[in-house]
Amino acid sequence: MNTASPIKDLSRLCPHTITTKPWPLAKAAQAYSAAGIGGITVWRDAAQAHPDGIAAAGKLCRDSGLQIVSYVRGGFFAAADGAGRQAAIDDNLKIIDEAAELGAPLIVLVCGAVPGQALGESRKQITDGIAAVLPHAAERGIRLGIEPLHPMYADSRSAVNTIGQANDIAIALDSTHVGVTVDVFHVWWDDRLGSEIQRCGEVGKLFSFHICDWRDRPEDMLNDRGLMGEGCIDVPRIRGWVESAGFRGFNEVEIFSNRYWAMDQDEFLARIVEAYRTKS
């Protein structure tokens, strides 16, 4: 398959607030908007820290000319006992209300896992947990994106590790409100990635797309993601697959990085824009 055509403008660029974590939401919204960026994905901590509340946080983003793309994150449905699973369901019902209050159409799900529990059992609990909150999500008009995580997180963060597994769960749940979030950091290594992205698009379940890069020998399993072009992920090729599968949404830049959080965030944002224009 072909690489995607070059990116012409920033209208479909959407940083996650965690990417510029040192900035409070108001500063992030102002800076993204001033740079000509079209979207923003709001993390729960950023929304909750907004002094005037979550609804005001949403209004602030829209008033800055930004489209709110996603609310991050729900999930963590797997648990060792029924009380833990019910607590997760209750928390996700609350997250759905928060997303509606914010005005975000989509919640990204980091699905959860329990150290020592069989991954298949965790996937069953995840499927049941999503099913339990789905009616409320549909009622509030919120879509849920199942985001597979790299298998290095299969012990404790997510038992869903491939687009194929996410597709299977989304298809089994059979709702227009459940789909899949493709994050290149988590799935770039998968030799079935192209065909599973295609399958995801064919069934109308390709909900969102996250980009960054995988640095050679990362110093930290969580907080050493790279800018696009800085590592081994062929972002343009994967974007090409996603677009061939019919996706027309935002390219969400999600970078957790102790290195980048330590630098001047205006300078970092300028680097994001440059990497987005030339390496994505």
Q: Assess whether the previous peptide bond of 73 is cis (omega < 30° from 0).
A: yes
State the minimum distance, in angstroms, from the CB of residue 147 to Zn ion. 5
Alpha-carbon distance values, 138 to 25, 124, 159, 177, 254 (Å): 27, 21, 24, 6, 26
C-alpha to C-alpha distance for 159 and 214, rounded to whole angstroms: 21
158-187 residues in contact with Zn ion (CB under 5 A) are: 183
Q: How many residues bind Zn ion (CB under 5 A)?
A: 3
State the minimum distance, in angstroms, from the CB of residue 254 to Zn ion. 5
Give yes or no for a contact between 77 and 128, defined as CB atoms under 8 angstroms apart. yes
210 scored as a contact of Zn ion (CB under 5 A): yes
254 scored as a contact of Zn ion (CB under 5 A): yes
150 scored as a contact of Zn ion (CB under 5 A): no
Q: Which is nearer to Zn ion, 98 or 183 (CB)?
A: 183
224 scored as a contact of Zn ion (CB under 5 A): no
State the minimum distance, in angstroms, from the CB of residue 210 to Zn ion. 4
State the minimum distance, in angstroms, from the CB of residue 135 to Zn ion. 26
The window from 27-35, 74-82, 148-156, 251-259 that contacts Zn ion (CB under 5 A) reads: 251-259
213 scored as a contact of Zn ion (CB under 5 A): no
State the minimum distance, in angstroms, from the CB of residue 183 to Zn ion. 3
105-124 residues in contact with Zn ion (CB under 5 A) are: none
> Which residues face 110 on adjacent strands?
75
Residues that bind Zn ion (CB under 5 A): 183, 210, 254
